[in-house]
Amino acid sequence: MSWINSRDEPWRTALVGELEKYMNITRIGKIWGTQMNEFEECKRHSVTTEEAKERRITKQCVSRKFKFNLALENSIRVHYVTEKFWDSLFSNAVTVYFGAPNVARDYAPAPDSFINIAAFPSCAELATYLQSVANDEKKWLSFFKWRSDPASIEKLSRVWNNSYRDLGCNVAQYILQLMTQKEDFSYNN
């Protein structure tokens, strides 16, 4: 399993440390001393460029070297779904996700398109499940069925368009909604 991470968040590092008691995890990122461009076949997608598209291609290239990829959000909040989920979902590794509690219902193309860490009571049980998936090719491949399911693709398209295309409008609407929930925004001098 890979974990591509560029910033140390103590709770994420602790979670990965606990999971490493039961399985091997390759930590990739500046803070771990392993760069994505150390993977020979991914060097053409150098991480030295500042272009986000190029970094995303490199990240997906590296993720493909593993059966699983950990996608741990910076924060656990409803609707907080970032590139960590999307980049992993579009690689050829099964996404092992911890983040937005509503990701399966509102964002994932299908409920069985990723493994939700929150569904497991312990890292030991998660590791046992991951080992069983890794040893069962049919089960592992089942996490990619959504890619040939028209309903899943349509949901993903709808989510993607609503999440990113109208981001500015969505943010403005959310702020307006917050403002209307408050009774008084004035303050006394």
Distance CA 138, CA 179 (A): 50
Say if CB 115 and CB 97 are below 8 A apart: yes
Question: Token match 């996490």: residue?
Answer: 143
pLDDT at residue 13 tops 60: yes
pLDDT at residue 171 tops 60: no
Average pLDDT score over residue span 12-32: 87
Average pLDDT score over residue span 14-23: 94
Structure letter (DSSP) for residue 42: G
| Mean pLDDT rounded to a whole number for the chain | 79
pLDDT at residue 60 tops 60: yes
Query: How far does CA 171 lie from the centroid of its chain?
Result: 21
Does this model's pTM top 0.75? yes
pLDDT at residue 47 tops 50: no
Average pLDDT score over residue span 46-57: 53
Distance CA 164, CA 169 (A): 10
Residue 189: per-residue pLDDT: 35
Mind listing the pLDDT tens digit for each residue in 108-158?
999 899 999 999 999 999 999 999 999 999 999 999 999 889 898 888 888
Residue 131: per-residue pLDDT: 97
The SS3 of residue 82 is coil
Mind listing the pLDDT tens digit for each residue in 88-102?
888 889 999 999 999
Distance CA 110, CA 106 (A): 10
Mind listing the pLDDT tens digit for each residue in 64-82?
788 999 999 988 999 888 8
Mind listing the pLDDT tens digit for each residue in 147-166?
889 898 888 888 877 665 44
Nearest to 99 by CA among 87, 131, 132: 87
For residue 119, which amino acid is it?
A: A
H/E element holding 3?
strand 2-4
**Helix residue ranges per DSSP H, 64-166:** 83-89, 103-106, 123-134, 137-142, 150-160
